[in-house]
Amino acid sequence: TSVSNINHDFFIIAHRGASTYAPEHTIPSYELAKEQGADYLEIDLQMTADGELVAMHDEKVDRTTNGKGFVRSYTLHELKQLDAGSWFNQQYPKQAKREYIDLKVPTLEDILKHFGDSVNYYIETKNPIKGEYMEEKLLALLEKYELLQKGNKVIIQSFSENSLRKIHRLNKSIPLIQLMKYNHPATVSEEQISHWKAYARGIGPNYQMIDETYVKKLRDHNLWVHPYTVNHKKHMKRLINWGVTGVFTNYSDRGVEVKQGKVE
Ligand code: G3P
Ligand code: MG
């Protein structure tokens, strides 16, 4: 299917950075996503034992570093001793854009310092140990780097409604995305939509479980719809034609091509 010209915002969200080609949630992964033209860098946040916010998807360091155990049992100093890139060279030698050596797990502050306002941020609060702390710390960092004054430069997402509602109480200007994991074909009621509209700008569902009706209902209420994780162009095109307003993808390069209307 070709893509009718996209007559609405359509964000390419680099899922954990350019995570097909570089170790996820590292500076090179984010740099490559920016180069590929992604609209947003997705950053999953975990917290260290000493309360620092770091970019990591899993609660444990085992899959993406040479370490073992929970992120929350490491101090930042200890975490910074780990190698966060070699695993990728071994596991994905063909996909890797280059050999990744001496990569560290970045803190959110490392990332904000590195990119400043040259990119847009799509930040996920993962289940923090001390709920209150993650959100306040996150907002304080975004304030410090003056990223909250400019439109949709920062979007915050979470599977946790509590986390999003806490942020909404602290700062009503940040667009919030309620992530949803459906284990059955998704349907949505009017009351569900008004429940979400009290705090959320949009919904992030798993793309395999939604259909055109679901998307149109949310779009009729002007909610953004950002399905994850969409890696094939044909799925991107189908979802765009349903009216989704962005996708999380491990292939920002493909997403940009689809967005530019380049047919296969
Ligand atoms: O945040 C969107 C998507 O990344 C949610 O799934 O498990 O990849 O963080 P996960
Ligand atoms: Mg995520």
- Which pLDDT does position 263 carry in this prediction? 46
- Token readout for 207 is 């793309």
In contact, 203 and 177? CB cutoff 8 Å: yes
The ligand placed nearest to the CA atom of residue 179 is: 1
pLDDT at 133 exceeding the cut of 80: no
Tens of pLDDT along 55-112? Answer: 999 999 999 999 999 999 999 999 999 999 999 999 999 999 999 999 999 999 999 9
Which residue's C-alpha comes closest to atom 10 of ligand 1?
A: 57
- Which pLDDT does position 129 carry in this prediction? 60
Locate the ligand 1 atom nearest the alpha carbon of residue 15 and give its number. 4
Tens of pLDDT along 227-251? Answer: 999 999 999 999 999 999 999 999 9
Confidence of residue 7 (pLDDT cuts 50, 70, 90): low
Query: How far does residue 27's CA lie from ligand 2's centre (Å)?
Result: 16
Q: What is the DSSP string of 146-207?
A: T-SSSGGGEEEEES-HHHHHHHHHH-TTS-EEEEE--SS-----HHHHHHHHTT-SEEEEBG
Which residue's C-alpha comes closest to atom 6 of ligand 1?
A: 228
Active site residues: 15, 57
Q: What is the mean pLDDT of the chain?
A: 94
- Which pLDDT does position 1 carry in this prediction? 42
Locate the ligand 1 atom nearest the alpha carbon of residue 124 and give its number. 1
pLDDT at 201 exceeding the cut of 90: yes
Backbone angles phi, psi at 22, to 5 degrees: -150, 155
Pick 12 or 127 by higher pLDDT.
Answer: 12
Which residues are found with C-beta within 5 Å of the ion, ligand 2?
44, 124
Crossing angle, helix 108-115 and helix 131-144, to 10 degrees? 20
pLDDT at 262 exceeding the cut of 60: no
In contact, 245 and 239? CB cutoff 8 Å: no
In contact, 43 and 31? CB cutoff 8 Å: no
